[in-house]
Amino acid sequence: MENQQETPIYEALLHHREKKADSYHVPGHKQGENFVEHKDDLFQSILQMDQTEITGLDDLHHPSGVIARAECLAAEAFGAGKTFYLVGGSTAGNIASILTMCLPGDQVILQRSCHQSIFHGCMLAGVSPIYWTDTYDMYTGFEKPLDLDWLAEKCRQNKIKLVVITSPSYYGVIQPVREIADICHQFDVALLVDEAHGAHFGFHPDLPDSALSQGADLVVQSTHKMLGSMTMSSMLHVGSSRARINDLERQLRVVQSSSPSYPLLASLDLARKQVAVDGLNLFGRLLTELDQFKKDTFPKCRWVQEYSLHHLVCRQDPCKMVIASGGQTSGIEMQTFLEDKGIYTELADDRRVLFCFSLAHPEGSLTRLKKALLELDGWLGNRESKLFERNTLALQLPSTTEFVLSFQEIRKYSQDRLKLEEAVEGIITEPIVPYPPGIPVLLPGERLTFEWMEYLRDADQAGYRIRGLYQNQLTSEVSVNIVKNSFMD
């Protein structure tokens, strides 16, 4: 067993700072010396840790010292054969994994609700995707578990190179990873799990099992999302020999910065130590407090209730909580109300608000949240009795459209930027992505139908942030990029 109390990168940075050495290397701020007017700021302490690959600090792209040691500790803590530290978020891990496992023309099975980075990886790799499109449950709007019979049939009928799934989803829906892995391996297919929101899985009996423990070949985790590292710091775990380590190393050098952030790397060290050493006790306490919070709050509410997933016959991450208003208002309006009370949530949509709970919640925060939710419930009850009239965005996305051009073909064409209403029947050139959660609703090569135009227009007017739509700041007109002269005759 490794000594999980160690934090090799963090300790090396502290040791170097204690030397008070003169810097004749990059970065140019020289541990913050040029920001004289901010000497006492919090930012200054971060800059003192912002180093480069000098003696004693190792090299992320060719580790042999403290970074190699840190990745070894992480592999043991998370149950991997090999772990890579990432400074480009799970995006870097997803793209590098696809580039490693696939050659141009290879067939890959994807959920249509994958994160945009998965689609970007597929575009760069030149693969041919096969989509699981029956993705969303009509009642809740949440992602459904992957149909195992459909997966087995597709693996039997096609020469599949890789299956990619997201588990948990943004809202915490868990896929049957073990069963999916068994089917993949029956046909000698590798399984990549985007576990960006599940880095905490497996560290307490009441948390879901990790994807690694269920047979996934590659797992990418955003350590910064549900554990304690800094934003953009993530990990890529290798679970089997199907993933070629040397190729992964090469692709990570391609997609990640050659000047990685040492504060990010050190934060991965600290997050790994916390969860490996104290995760069982800390998550036990958090889950107990959350359970009591819900018992003390929701029975007192008439309108505000936790969204249930029971009819989906799947498990939900207990560190995620989704609320709805019983049809009284939109999630976006509820989010605005809560922000006025000092409560900032992860995401809101036309029906729901999403909360993320971690080990870092300060004492008293759940008491403040309870008070705010009860006030929200009272505000909903005092509104006009007429139920909230949902906009056209509610419940169900328009039907998936046809792919007119493949990812590879679309790169050959120039594009036009047209007003959204004028672009109907044109072919989209870049992903259209509500963010959060970062799941594309339209992909390059798909046609913008009238129904999708209406959906995007209504989503924009409802306050959604949508990447791939461009707003004129003077006229508020919304535009989109399409293939030049791609309208249907």
**pLDDT at residue 313 in the model:** 60
Q: Which residues pair with 27 in a beta bridge?
A: none
- Give the rounded percent of residues in the chain with a pLDDT score beyond 90: 70
Average pLDDT rounded to a whole number, residues 80-104:
98
Average pLDDT of the residues in 37-41: 71
The reply to whether 414 and 458 lie within a common domain is: yes
Nearest of 440, 484, 433 to residue 131 by alpha carbon = 440
User: Is 58 within 8 Å of 68 (Cβ atoms)?
Assistant: yes
Q: Is residue 209 part of a domain?
A: no
The angle at the Cα of 96, spanning 212 to 275, to the nearest 5 degrees, equals 40
Task: Report residue 41's pLDDT band, with 50, 70 and 90 as the boundaries.
Answer: confident
Q: Which of 46-55, 182-191, 230-239 has the lowest mean pLDDT?
A: 46-55
Residues 465 and 427 in one domain: yes
The number of CA neighbours under 13 Å toward the Cβ of 15 is 12
Phi-psi domain of 232 (left: phi exceeds 0; alpha: psi -120 through 50; beta: other): left
Q: Considering 365, 381, 397, which residue would you say is the last residue of a domain?
A: 381
- Write down the pLDDT at residue 392: 35
Buried-exposed string 406-416: b where 16+ CB fall within 10 A, e elsewhere = ebeebeeeebb
In a domain, 58, yes or no: no
Higher pLDDT among residues 487 and 104, named by residue: 104
When pLDDT is averaged across residues 183-201 and rounded to a whole number, the result is: 98
Q: Is 58 exposed, middle or buried (0-12, 13-18, 19+ CB in 10 A)?
A: buried
Q: How far is CA 334 from the centre of its chain?
A: 23
What's the domain count of the chain? 2
Query: Which of 381, 416, 441 finishes a domain?
Result: 381
Average confidence score pLDDT of the chain? 90
Q: Span 354-380, mean pLDDT? A: 95
State which of 10-24, 142-156, 397-411 shows the largest mean pLDDT.
Answer: 142-156
395 pLDDT band, cuts 50/70/90, is very low
98, 148, 381 from 155: Cα distances, Å: 18, 11, 52
Please report, for residues 55, 198, 234, the alpha-carbon distance to residue 225 in angstroms, rounded to integers and kept in the order given: 31, 8, 9
361 falls within a domain: yes
**pLDDT value at 389 more than 60:** no
304 lies in some domain: yes
What whole-number distance in Å separates Cα of residue 69 and Cα of residue 447? 49
Least confident of 142-151, 155-164, 179-188: 142-151
3-state secondary structure of 165: strand
Asked if pLDDT for residue 469 goes beyond 50, the answer is yes
Confidence label for 54 from pLDDT (cuts 50, 70 and 90): confident
Task: Examine the pLDDT at 385 and tell me if it is beyond 50.
Answer: no
Report yes or no on 182 lying in a domain: no
Which alpha helices (H) appear in 23-115, and where do they start and end? 42-47, 66-78, 89-101
What is the C-alpha separation between 272 and 24, in angstroms, rounded?
A: 32
Q: Does 322 map to a domain?
A: yes
Indicate which CATH number applies to the domain containing 369. 3.90.1150.10
Confidence of residue 229 (pLDDT cuts 50, 70, 90): very high
Q: 416 lies in a domain?
A: yes
Q: Say which residues have a Cβ less than 8 Å from residue 18's Cβ, sequence separation at least 6.
A: none
**CATH code, domain carrying 440:** 3.90.100.10
- Interatomic CA distance for residues 63 and 70, integer angstroms: 10
Same domain (yes/no): 438, 356: no
* Phi, psi of 262, rounded to the nearest 5 degrees: -70, -35
Spatial separation of the C-alpha atoms in residues 366 and 293, rounded to whole Å: 7
Question: Could you say which of 346, 381, 416 is where a domain stops?
Answer: 381
Query: Which one, of 320, 327, 365, 315, lies nearest residue 346 by Cα?
Result: 320
Contact 238, 80 (CB under 8 A): yes
| Predicted pLDDT at 388 | 46
Query: What is the SS3 assignment for 332?
Result: helix
Cis peptide before 362 (omega within 30 of 0): no
**Distance in angstroms (rounded) separating the CA atoms of residues 232 and 91:** 9
Confidence tier at 1 by pLDDT (50, 70, 90): low
The C-alpha atoms of residue 228 and residue 276 are separated, in whole angstroms, by 12
**More reliable by pLDDT, 307 or 214:** 214
Determine which of 310-314, 414-418, 453-457 has the lowest per-residue pLDDT on average: 310-314
By C-alpha distance, which of 312, 351, 346 is closest to 147?
A: 312
Torsional sign, CA 192, 437, 459, 466: negative
Q: Is the pLDDT of residue 473 over 80?
A: no
Q: Would you place residue 305 in the very low, low, confident or very high pLDDT band (cuts 50, 70, 90)?
A: very high
Q: What is the pLDDT of residues 321-334, one digit of tens each?
A: 999 998 889 899 99
Q: Answer yes or no: do 368 and 445 share one domain.
A: no
Domain encompassing residue 470: 407-483
- Note whether 338 and 424 are same-domain residues: no
pLDDT at 39 over 70: no
> What pLDDT is attached to residue 387?
44
Tens-digit pLDDT profile for residues 65-80: 999 999 999 999 999 9
Instruction: Tell me the C-alpha to C-alpha distance, in Å, between residue 361 and each of 319, 365, 373.
Output: 12, 6, 17
Q: What is the pLDDT of residue 391?
A: 42
Is the domain of 412 the same as that of 463?
A: yes
Q: Does residue 309 form part of some domain?
A: yes
Residue 241's pLDDT band, with cuts at 50, 70 and 90, is very high
- The answer for 329, left when phi > 0, alpha when psi is -120 to 50, beta otherwise, is beta
pLDDT digits (tens, 9 = 90+) for 402-429: 789 988 898 889 999 999 999 999 999 9
Indicate if 422 and 376 belong to the same structural domain.
no
**% of the chain beyond a pLDDT of 70:** 94
Query: Which helix (H) or strand (E) element contains residue 190?
Result: strand 190-194
Q: Find, among 68, 50, 40, the residue nearest to 13 by Cα.
A: 50
